[in-house]
Structure 1
Amino acid sequence: MWMPDRNNKKTLYEQIADHLEQRISYGEFPPGSLLPSERRLAEQLGVNRSTVISAFAELRSMGIIESRSGSGTRVSTSKWGATPKHTPNWSRYAEGGSFLPNLPFMRRIREALAQYPSLIDFASGELSADLAPTQEISSLMSKHEYTSYLGYDNPQGSIPLREALVDYLQQHRGIRTTESSILITSGSQQSLYLITQCLLSPGDAVAIEDPSYCYSLPMFQSAGLRLFRLPVDQDGVMPEDVRALYKKHRIKMVFLNPNFQNPTGTVLSSERRKRLLDIASELGLPIVEDDPFSLTSYEAAPPLPLKAMDNVGSVLYMGSFSKIAASGLRVGWMVAPHSIVERLADARQQMDFGLSIIPQQIAGQFLQSPLLLPHLDNLRMQLQFKRDLLMESLEKELSGLVEFVAPEGGLHLWCKLIPNIPEGKLLEESIKHGTVFVPGSVYGSDPGYVRFTFARAKLEQIAPGIAGFAKALRALMV
């Protein structure tokens, strides 16, 4: 992100004016488009508001921008007397299209993290750099020469990776499958996108957990799907709720995260798993099972996935490298009937002609290497340590003001706030105190919940981060 140089001979306001003029000339801000407010731009650039006011005044004097009370500052439509005749209305295009933007809270979190790199990040659902197998992957890359053809690969995904996944899924998740029933994707979100776009139609009804990570993804609404919620308690969803939704709304598909559910951390009980599969089989209802967290189980082995118990082919199973190794490799997978794999592979080929071959090669080698199990053991140990430190910090800073149940795996801690504080104000105040989190309503829950991801922050950041959040909460309680 560009920032003014305080050692430059030009004044700060002149640098800002020059920078904005350049972006306008490049077409980043077309004629008529709205510029950031003076206050927001001052915050982004780390300067006084008066500096931005001077920069805007400089641009107004040149006829580049114009300001109107109550309407903000916009790029002039008649710069230096030359009226553009065929400039597209880019604002209208940006607001159009069928694919919806991210939720406002998620956009604000992303903006804050980009604007303030020093923020302590309890929002991003990924591993910190020290938890990723960086040295292991570097070692594999140094030992293997990548001399194979670097053209387009099989649209279903690299055959060696799919073969490695056959062994991995049977050994670690109890799932028996073949390489022809596996589709490689760029992660669970691409798997979900392909399912919503290719296997469902606008107007179809689907069931998702409440709260649920799926609720935070506008791709469901973009596909025109009708969402119906399955409340989650301490043992997961109630199978009979699925039957009730099918009878009332003729739901076409159920989306579940049975092990260490995001965001609550709950585990669907064994009894409910069996009953759920019986109901799905009886109704001919597909279940999409997202299983990114099972191998992060801290102590006891988690229950087998629904797919491992599925004898009739009701379950589409999704997994990912992101939560157990490296999100940046962008490698995920789906286990499904071959006809579904072929359909989705065809659609994915239309999107990107398949994934990069090198990350697939790295992932396949890592899954088959003796480095995998030691990495997973260390990952579980470190995640549990971070979880405990987060809970200790919450008890110290917010005793009596927050409630939670310790998850036995995963990356997230789901918290109920006792004080009734508006979520937007709490997020903004927390950002001011150097910490960012995800408000609970992002996942469809009632207001008053927050999700803290403890995998992304460094160990030494967790206590100060919660202290900052506590200051923000108490400031709004006054």
Structure 2
Amino acid sequence: MEWKLDRSSHKPMYRQIIEHMEYRISNGEYPPGSLLPSERVLAKELEVNRSTIVTAYEEMRASGLVTSKKGSGTRVSLFGQETEYNQLPDWDQYVIGGSLLPNAPLMRRIFKEARNEKVIDLATGELSPDLFPRAQVEERMRAASFTFQSGYEHQQGNLQLRETIASQLKRDRDIDTASSSVLITSGAQQALYLVIQCLLKPGDTVLIEDPSYCYSLPLFKSMGIKTCLLKADKHGINPDDIVAFHQKNKIRMIFLNPTFQNPTGVSLHPKRRKKLLEIAVEYGIPIIEDDPYTLTAFDTQAPPTLKSMDDYGVVLYISSLSKIVSSGLRIGWIVGPQPVISRLADVKQQIDFGHSIFSQWMANEVLTSPNFDEHIQALGSTLRRRRDAMIQALSDYLPNEVEFLVPKGGIHLWCRVKKRVSEWKLLEQAIDHGMIFMPGSALGSSEGYVRFTFGRTDETNIEEGIARFASALLFSK
């Protein structure tokens, strides 16, 4: 739980802040020599006047706990002669020296504000808690019996869950597979991580959509992998572009989210799907199909998955329960050739010794519940209402300021802002107005776009969030 000031306490707020910072320093969160938050940042985080932080830092400087230098900020003291501590680790250098790059500052800013209960979240790509089938799950859990296994699970995941997933993939997405070709992962994110870590090497070139969720991932850059961008229109990417890229760069892999794509909501046209697979087979290029949204189709049936059309085994298929049940379950999966699945499973075991037994059991109970289809239908209806509420709000508050395509599934709406504005300035204005969105540059190469997510909050807050965005846009001009 995040620490908060006790505003009803007789103890002055600056004294509470001092004690809290002392605690964070003593437990190693801020080791000797580390930089503390600036007065402005800490004041905003704790929702107090900057003068309160100034007083707290002055007291801490007077006690010798911290030191300040103009232009360099406030740091934790070394507690004695520096020569006695010349072997202390330079944690700042370690932080920037790891092989995995951090999220971009823009993404970290959004993630931080998403935890603020006073901010309407139209940025985070997840479902709101009320869309979790709580009653169905609780009823299922009461009726079911769970035998706790104290040891590690099979390295590919619980067999019963893998059999359930294989069965439902055949029923709902026309994908033929066996449990031995399924690997359970900690959501689709870990699935992508395993693919990149295990099947690619530094210097390889891959194709991703532009815009795309993959664009925001620092994993490719961390691995030294070159990404080429496939521009997309209202029918998705143009498969002919792949041939041109391959002739110049020798493409090793293609990453696609072809159905209700994040962030555009567009689905790859069936004819383009067929052509894409023909090209992949001709040139021997694997396709990574990321498919979290197929079951969220609103008005019409979703297009067939690439995996269901794959007669030659060129598609690795990734999906999860994050966008149809709950991101908190952390249940995803990869479907592919058994040698590939075994390789990925071996590395996953090195990372975490296998997935949680309890969450796998719960996922299996959800998927085999007689009410699961009812939940999916209710989910689609709710998401459609929220999409419509967002479209109406955009029409009401920004009738001439934005343009967009209406998604037929998924949880995102991709908007082009017609007037040129600074993304950082717009985001900061939006936060000041009490809402957050995802700036387009975080997901693609072109500026002037924003992504709104309608899965995270209800219709009332969606309307209020768009109203606040409209005000922020006005102040950003």
TM-score band w.r.t. shorter chain:
over 0.9
* Pair 362,22 (structure 1): closer, same or farther in 2 beyond 3 Å: closer
* Pair 371,150 (structure 1): closer, same or farther in 2 beyond 3 Å: farther
Q: Per the alignment, in what secondary structure is the counterpart of residue 298 of structure 2?
A: coil
Q: Residue 126 of structure 1 aligns with which residue?
A: 126
- Looking at structure 1, the residues matched to 286 and 41 of structure 2 have their Cα atoms a distance apart, in angstroms, of 47
Q: Residue 243 of structure 2 aligns with which residue?
A: 243
Q: Residue 63 of structure 1 aligns with which residue?
A: 64
CA deviations over 1:30-65 (Å, ceiling 9, x no partner): 121111111111111111111111101100101111
Q: Residue 51 of structure 2 aligns with which residue?
A: 50
Q: Out of 156-165 and 145-154, give the one that drifted further.
A: 145-154
Deviation at 1:117, TM superposition (A): 1.7
- Looking at structure 2, the residues matched to 113 and 368 of structure 1 have their Cα atoms a distance apart, in angstroms, of 33
Deviation at 1:365, TM superposition (A): 2.4
* Pair 12,83 (structure 1): closer, same or farther in 2 beyond 3 Å: farther
Q: Residue 34 of structure 1 aligns with which residue?
A: 35
Q: Residue 208 of structure 1 aligns with which residue?
A: 208
Q: Residue 20 of structure 2 aligns with which residue?
A: 19
Deviation at 1:86, TM superposition (A): 3.7
Q: Residue 234 of structure 1 aligns with which residue?
A: 234
Q: Residue 109 of structure 2 aligns with which residue?
A: 108
Q: Residue 143 of structure 1 aligns with which residue?
A: 143
Q: Residue 415 of structure 1 aligns with which residue?
A: 415
Q: Residue 304 of structure 1 aligns with which residue?
A: 304
Q: Residue 391 of structure 2 aligns with which residue?
A: 391
- Looking at structure 2, the residues matched to 418 and 361 of structure 1 have their Cα atoms a distance apart, in angstroms, of 48
- Looking at structure 2, the residues matched to 468 and 5 of structure 1 have their Cα atoms a distance apart, in angstroms, of 29
Deviation at 1:458, TM superposition (A): 2.2
Quote the sequence identity (%). 50
Deviation at 1:297, TM superposition (A): 0.4
Asked if 1 retains the 8 angstrom alpha-carbon contact of 2:39 and 2:50, the reply is: yes
- Looking at structure 2, the residues matched to 396 and 83 of structure 1 have their Cα atoms a distance apart, in angstroms, of 66
* Pair 307,22 (structure 1): closer, same or farther in 2 beyond 3 Å: same
Asked if 2 retains the 8 angstrom alpha-carbon contact of 1:184 and 1:331, the reply is: yes
Q: Residue 453 of structure 1 aligns with which residue?
A: 453
Q: Per the alignment, in what secondary structure is the counterpart of residue 207 of structure 1?
A: strand
Asked if 1 retains the 8 angstrom alpha-carbon contact of 2:149 and 2:357, the reply is: no
The residue type paired with residue 107 of structure 1 is R
Deviation at 1:84, TM superposition (A): 3.3
Deviation at 1:4, TM superposition (A): 2.0
Q: Residue 425 of structure 1 aligns with which residue?
A: 425
TM-score w.r.t. the length of structure 1 is 0.98
- Looking at structure 2, the residues matched to 241 and 113 of structure 1 have their Cα atoms a distance apart, in angstroms, of 37
- Looking at structure 2, the residues matched to 434 and 138 of structure 1 have their Cα atoms a distance apart, in angstroms, of 34
The residue type paired with residue 386 of structure 1 is R
Q: Per the alignment, in what secondary structure is the counterpart of residue 316 of structure 2?
A: strand
- Looking at structure 1, the residues matched to 147 and 415 of structure 2 have their Cα atoms a distance apart, in angstroms, of 50
Deviation at 1:13, TM superposition (A): 1.0
Deviation at 1:8, TM superposition (A): 2.0
- Looking at structure 1, the residues matched to 175 and 149 of structure 2 have their Cα atoms a distance apart, in angstroms, of 31
Q: Per the alignment, in what secondary structure is the counterpart of residue 469 of structure 1?
A: helix
Asked if 2 retains the 8 angstrom alpha-carbon contact of 1:413 and 1:452, the reply is: yes
* Pair 287,16 (structure 1): closer, same or farther in 2 beyond 3 Å: same
CA RMSD of aligned residues (A): 1.2
CA deviations over 1:313-360 (Å, ceiling 9, x no partner): 000001100001111111011110000000000000000010011111
- Looking at structure 2, the residues matched to 243 and 150 of structure 1 have their Cα atoms a distance apart, in angstroms, of 51
CA deviations over 1:195-224 (Å, ceiling 9, x no partner): 000000011000000001001111111111
Asked if 2 retains the 8 angstrom alpha-carbon contact of 1:236 and 1:266, the reply is: yes
The residue type paired with residue 45 of structure 1 is L
- Looking at structure 2, the residues matched to 273 and 87 of structure 1 have their Cα atoms a distance apart, in angstroms, of 57
Asked if 2 retains the 8 angstrom alpha-carbon contact of 1:296 and 1:409, the reply is: yes
- Looking at structure 2, the residues matched to 303 and 444 of structure 1 have their Cα atoms a distance apart, in angstroms, of 24
The residue type paired with residue 274 of structure 1 is K
- Looking at structure 2, the residues matched to 475 and 369 of structure 1 have their Cα atoms a distance apart, in angstroms, of 50
- Looking at structure 1, the residues matched to 415 and 445 of structure 2 have their Cα atoms a distance apart, in angstroms, of 12
- Please show how residues 428-447 of structure 1 align to structure 2 within 5 Å: 428-447=428-447
Q: Residue 470 of structure 2 aligns with which residue?
A: 470
Q: Per the alignment, in what secondary structure is the counterpart of residue 208 of structure 1?
A: strand
Q: Per the alignment, in what secondary structure is the counterpart of residue 334 of structure 1?
A: strand
- Looking at structure 1, the residues matched to 174 and 268 of structure 2 have their Cα atoms a distance apart, in angstroms, of 17
- Looking at structure 2, the residues matched to 403 and 81 of structure 1 have their Cα atoms a distance apart, in angstroms, of 59
The residue type paired with residue 136 of structure 1 is Q
CA deviations over 1:255-292 (Å, ceiling 9, x no partner): 00110010001010011011010010000110000010
Q: Residue 93 of structure 1 aligns with which residue?
A: 94
Deviation at 1:11, TM superposition (A): 1.1
The residue type paired with residue 382 of structure 2 is Q
Q: Out of 43-52 and 21-30, give the one that drifted further.
A: 21-30
Asked if 1 retains the 8 angstrom alpha-carbon contact of 2:114 and 2:124, the reply is: no
The residue type paired with residue 109 of structure 2 is R
Q: Residue 265 of structure 2 aligns with which residue?
A: 265
Q: Per the alignment, in what secondary structure is the counterpart of residue 59 of structure 1?
A: helix
The residue type paired with residue 253 of structure 1 is M
Q: Per the alignment, in what secondary structure is the counterpart of residue 59 of structure 2?
A: helix
The residue type paired with residue 150 of structure 2 is L
CA deviations over 1:415-447 (Å, ceiling 9, x no partner): 000111100000010001010010000012311
Q: Residue 326 of structure 1 aligns with which residue?
A: 326
Asked if 2 retains the 8 angstrom alpha-carbon contact of 1:435 and 1:469, the reply is: yes
Q: Residue 186 of structure 2 aligns with which residue?
A: 186
The residue type paired with residue 371 of structure 2 is L
Deviation at 1:27, TM superposition (A): 1.7
Q: Per the alignment, in what secondary structure is the counterpart of residue 114 of structure 2?
A: helix
Q: Out of 67-76 and 362-371, give the one that drifted further.
A: 362-371
Deviation at 1:85, TM superposition (A): 4.7
CA deviations over 1:151-180 (Å, ceiling 9, x no partner): 200000110011111110011001011111
Asked if 1 retains the 8 angstrom alpha-carbon contact of 2:202 and 2:225, the reply is: yes
Asked if 1 retains the 8 angstrom alpha-carbon contact of 2:141 and 2:365, the reply is: no
Asked if 1 retains the 8 angstrom alpha-carbon contact of 2:287 and 2:315, the reply is: yes
TM-score w.r.t. the length of structure 2 is 0.98
Asked if 2 retains the 8 angstrom alpha-carbon contact of 1:64 and 1:79, the reply is: no
- Looking at structure 1, the residues matched to 167 and 204 of structure 2 have their Cα atoms a distance apart, in angstroms, of 36
Q: Per the alignment, in what secondary structure is the counterpart of residue 420 of structure 2?
A: coil
Asked if 1 retains the 8 angstrom alpha-carbon contact of 2:5 and 2:46, the reply is: yes
Q: Out of 188-197 and 454-463, give the one that drifted further.
A: 454-463
